[in-house]
Structure 1
Amino acid sequence: MPGNTTTVIDDASKESGEPDVTVGKIDHYENIAISDWMDKETIIISKENEDLGKMSLEELSDSYPKSLYLYHLNTKQYDLLTRSR
């Protein structure tokens, strides 16, 4: 989210004066949960799968079931890995 700050506390950086961690850029992704990295350009995500139709339970009836996807950061394409029902 814009305006948020992440602080890394590392006692080792006090000795050298240089932080061990740097952030080049932060990208914001809507409505997905990133769970792991496959490689530098591909992540595993969980997001709603609209192909499955909305859920039938009343309290979840406005939601779609979630599925796992490979998301390619360079092309912004999704590849379905698995789906749950």
Structure 2
Amino acid sequence: MSGTKEAILRRQPFRIIAQDPAVRINGRILTAQVDVPAEELAAGPWGHRVQVIDYDASTQKFYRPLNYQKAKNGSIQDPFADVDDETLLGDPRFH
């Protein structure tokens, strides 16, 4: 690519819960890192492929949108890449 723009990323890694969190291996939930098609994400996340409005009907509460930080290469930094199981299960911003 010419000019000052960096090459467009095609894939973006994100951490997911790969199995029902009630099923544990050595006391831990099963997670995986998967590559998803890369795109610009606004707060939410909100993009072309995914649009999240986080509403908890049981408490009638809206949660603040998650703002993703960008790395120097333009990729999105997964805020849940290295957190513990309790954070994954307890943070309503993890989808």
TM range (shorter): under 0.3
TM-score, reference length from structure 1: 0.27
* Greater relative contact order (CA < 8 Å, ≥ 6 in sequence): 2
- Determine which structure has the larger strand proportion and give its number: 1
Rg bigger for which structure?
Answer: 1
- Determine which structure has the larger helix proportion and give its number: 1
